């Protein structure tokens, strides 16, 4: 297992020689110790990336395509190793992490193709004997600051388009899940030295120096709203571009014209996948009254069937939360809702049969109100609060009653209801009858406090490029320059 930082094509420890322990959230046992990076370590990584940029940006598109496809090939060859590391350090079930590695490989393949093909455009000239065209240029060195819930997938959504666009990258993984990212050094080792660098450490000591480094030209971050705001303020002082994906509080509407059993299966998936630790987890359910009782009963039954335990096991549906602080945060939020009148129908506590790890039972709650924190703020845990509504208009109004705007879902067979909701709910992604499904070719990102900028698709590539207009006049003439002005008659062009 790789346990050292990757800077300029070499494995190195921290300058301070300090490290910190990575803990398995399912067992509370230390997995490994990794370097605790500082501003000095960040400086070395940024310098290496800046130096590599000069050559990388000029590399032919076919060469870049081949290198990114090789990344995908190496990812698949290391799939089981990477999935195992992610499970041990992050707690997501092994079966889900195997899928994640495949999604990562697919992302690099996708950008290997469109990065080769999408370089700019020719535009109509203003005058004769002129040519105007627009070229898309890389920014320079990108800081990719990656969260812990999908440590490799959300890395790929930043790094793959950044590299395809001609940028170099310094990656800072979450302090909770650095090991899977460090394992990627073997996947990137065929790239020129310094094109990809990995530094590990904590936000204040490592992440903040990366954000404020004068050698960083663009910051791509996925994480909390609070941290995103802080990064935006720091970046604004140097007028750097910032790409932010800041989580959400996604609504899930269930209409009364659907097969309730299918809606329950989808709802349980959207609420409890990765223990609710998905940026687009369904965190607010709005169910139309005629089917509410049956849907609620189905969600309770589904939550009780989920198997919790060590996520390395083959028969485990849900692992732990990432750390004890997160478990306590979720528990406190549920307890506050209960004190305010909400009714817990299942879960709401640590599973009594599991004595180690940061586990929390899948929880279904009713009798909630829009004023409750549970319905207003991101929970990031396996909690499904359900509010009964009278019609689709009330559901849409409540869905928009949020500062977030990342994703939203609806289950309905009524096209009018589906499209009315899609047109009126403020969200970067809107799912109709298939929640949490992503597409490499379609943009992903948030509105409102969920951030700005887009990942995936051609939009995701353009986030890492800026446009330059080039104008060529291929017939040089003195008469077109008007100084000094001839005031005796109309100006001629």
CB contact set of 445 (below 8 Å; sequence gap of 6+):
245, 406, 428, 451, 452, 453, 454, 455
**Residue 131, phi then psi, degrees to nearest 5:** -130, 130
Give yes or no for a contact between 379 and 280, defined as CB atoms under 8 angstroms apart. no
Q: In the β-sheet with 120-123, what is the strand arrangement from edge to edge? A: 120-123, 130-138, 465-473
Whether 175 and 264 map to the same domain: the answer is no
Whether 210 and 356 map to the same domain: the answer is no
Structural domain containing residue 175: 5-245+463-471
Q: What is the pLDDT of residue 493?
A: 52
Whether 107 and 234 map to the same domain: the answer is yes
Rounded to the nearest angstrom, the gap between the alpha carbon of residue 465 and the centroid of all alpha carbons in its chain is 19
Distance CA 384, CA 347 (A): 10
CB contact set of 488 (below 8 Å; sequence gap of 6+):
none
Whether 233 and 329 map to the same domain: the answer is no
Nearest CA-CA partner of 53 in 216, 221, 235: 216
Q: How many domains does the chain have?
A: 2
Distance CA 429, CA 447 (A): 9
Is 490 part of a structural domain of the chain? no
Extract the runs of DSSP E, i.e. beta strands, from 38-167: 120-123, 130-138, 141-145
CB contact set of 478 (below 8 Å; sequence gap of 6+):
none
CATH code at 11?
A: 3.40.605.10
Give yes or no for a contact between 19 and 36, defined as CB atoms under 8 angstroms apart. yes
Q: What is the pLDDT of residue 276?
A: 98
Q: Which residue has the tokens 């909630």?
A: 368
Whether 164 and 285 map to the same domain: the answer is no
Torsion of CA 308, 309, 310, 315, to 10 degrees: -70
CATH code at 263?
A: 3.40.309.10
Whether 180 and 200 map to the same domain: the answer is yes
Is 486 part of a structural domain of the chain? no
Q: What is the pLDDT of residue 260?
A: 98
Task: Please indicate whether residue 279 is annotated as part of the active site.
Answer: yes
Whether 48 and 195 map to the same domain: the answer is yes
**Domain end marker among 432, 447, 479:** 432
Q: What is the pLDDT of residues 246-290, one digit of tens each?
A: 989 999 999 999 999 999 999 999 999 999 999 999 999 999 999
Whether 73 and 200 map to the same domain: the answer is yes
At 311, which helix (H) or strand (E)? Answer: none
Distance CA 247, CA 381 (A): 13
**Domain end marker among 380, 415, 432:** 432
CA 241 → CA 119, 120, 205, distances in Å?
20, 20, 22
Q: How many CB atoms lie within 10 A of CB 488?
A: 5
Whether the bond between 391 and the residue before it is cis, its omega within 30 degrees of 0, is no
Ranges of the chain whose pLDDT falls below 50: none
HSE-up (13 A, CA, CB side) for residue 157: 31
Q: Per the residue annotation, which of 107, 206, 279, 331 is the catalytic one?
A: 279
In three-state secondary structure terms, 41 is helix
Q: What is the pLDDT of residue 424?
A: 98
Is 9 part of a structural domain of the chain? yes
The b/e string for 401-417 (b: 16+ C-beta within 10 A; e otherwise) is ebebbbbbbbbbeeeeb
Is 491 part of a structural domain of the chain? no
Is 40 part of a structural domain of the chain? yes
Distance CA 228, CA 410 (A): 28
Task: Please indicate whether residue 107 is annotated as part of the active site.
Answer: no
Q: Per the residue annotation, which of 32, 89, 205, 245 is the catalytic one?
A: 245
Distance CA 440, CA 107 (A): 6
Is 414 part of a structural domain of the chain? yes
Is 479 part of a structural domain of the chain? no
Whether 428 and 348 map to the same domain: the answer is yes
Whether 238 and 264 map to the same domain: the answer is no
Q: What is the pLDDT of residue 27?
A: 97
Is 487 part of a structural domain of the chain? no
Whether 405 and 280 map to the same domain: the answer is yes
Give yes or no for a contact between 85 and 178, defined as CB atoms under 8 angstroms apart. no
Whether 357 and 230 map to the same domain: the answer is no
Q: Which residue has the tokens 């009148």?
A: 341
The DSSP-derived string for 168-206 is EEEEE--TTSHHHHHTTHHHHTTSPTTSEEE----IIII
Q: What is the pLDDT of residue 127?
A: 87
The DSSP-derived string for 344-366 is EEE--S--TT--SS-----EEEE
């Amino acid at each position: 297992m790789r346990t050292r930082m990757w800077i300029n094509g070499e494995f190195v420890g921290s300058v301070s020689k300090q490290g910190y322990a990575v803990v398995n959230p399912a067992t509370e046992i230390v997995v490994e110790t990794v370097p605790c990076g500082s501003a000095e370590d960040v400086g070395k990584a940024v310098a290496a990336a800046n130096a590599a940029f000069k050559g990388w940006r000029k590399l032919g598109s076919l060469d870049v395509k081949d290198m990114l496809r090789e990344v995908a090939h190496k990812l698949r060859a290391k799939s089981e190793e990477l999935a195992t590391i992610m499970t041990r350090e992050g707690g997501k079930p092994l079966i889900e992490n195997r899928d994640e590695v495949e999604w990562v490989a697919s992302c690099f393949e996708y950008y290997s193709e469109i990065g080769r093909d999408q370089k700019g455009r020719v535009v109509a000239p203003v005058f004769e004997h002129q040519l105007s065209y627009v070229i898309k240029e890389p920014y320079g060195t990108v800081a990719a600051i990656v969260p812990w819930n999908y440590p490799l997938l959300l890395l790929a959504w930043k790094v793959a388009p950044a590299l395809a666009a001609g940028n170099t990258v310094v990656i800072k993984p979450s302090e909770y899940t650095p090991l899977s990212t460090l394992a990627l050094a073997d996947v990137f080792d065929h790239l020129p030295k310094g094109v990809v660098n990995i530094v590990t450490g904590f936000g204040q000591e490592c992440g903040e120096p990366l954000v404020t480094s004068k050698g960083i030209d663009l910051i791509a971050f996925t994480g909390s709203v609070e941290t995103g705001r802080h990064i935006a303020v720091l970046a604004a002082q140097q007028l750097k571009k910032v790409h932010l994906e800041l989580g959400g509080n996604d609504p899930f509407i269930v209409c009364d014209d659907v097969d309730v059993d299918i809606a329950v299966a989808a709802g349980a998936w959207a609420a409890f996948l990765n223990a609710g630790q998905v940026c687009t987890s369904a965190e607010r359910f709005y169910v139309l009254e005629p089917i509410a009782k049956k849907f609620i009963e189905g969600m309770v039954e589904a939550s009780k069937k989920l198997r919790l335990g060590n996520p390395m096991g083959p028969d485990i549906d849900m692992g732990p939360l990432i750390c004890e602080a997160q478990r306590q945060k979720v528990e406190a939020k549920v307890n506050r809702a209960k004190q305010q009148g909400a009714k817990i129908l299942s879960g709401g506590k640590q599973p009594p049969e599991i004595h180690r790890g940061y586990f929390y039972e899948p929880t279904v709650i009713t009798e909630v109100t829009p004023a409750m924190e549970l319905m207003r703020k991101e929970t990031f845990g396996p909690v499904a609060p359900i509010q009964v509504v009278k019609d689709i208009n009330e559901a849409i109004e409540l869905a928009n009653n949020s500062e977030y705007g990342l994703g939203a879902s609806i289950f309905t067979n009524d096209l009018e209801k589906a499209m009315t909701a899609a047109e009126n709910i403020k969200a970067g992604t809107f799912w109709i009858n298939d929640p949490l499904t992503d597409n490499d070719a379609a943009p992903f990102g948030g509105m409102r406090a969920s951030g700005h900028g887009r990942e995936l698709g051609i939009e995701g590539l353009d986030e890492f490029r800026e446009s330059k207009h080039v104008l060529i006049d291929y017939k040089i003439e003195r008469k077109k320059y008007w100084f000094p002005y001839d005031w005796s008659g109309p100006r001629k062009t």
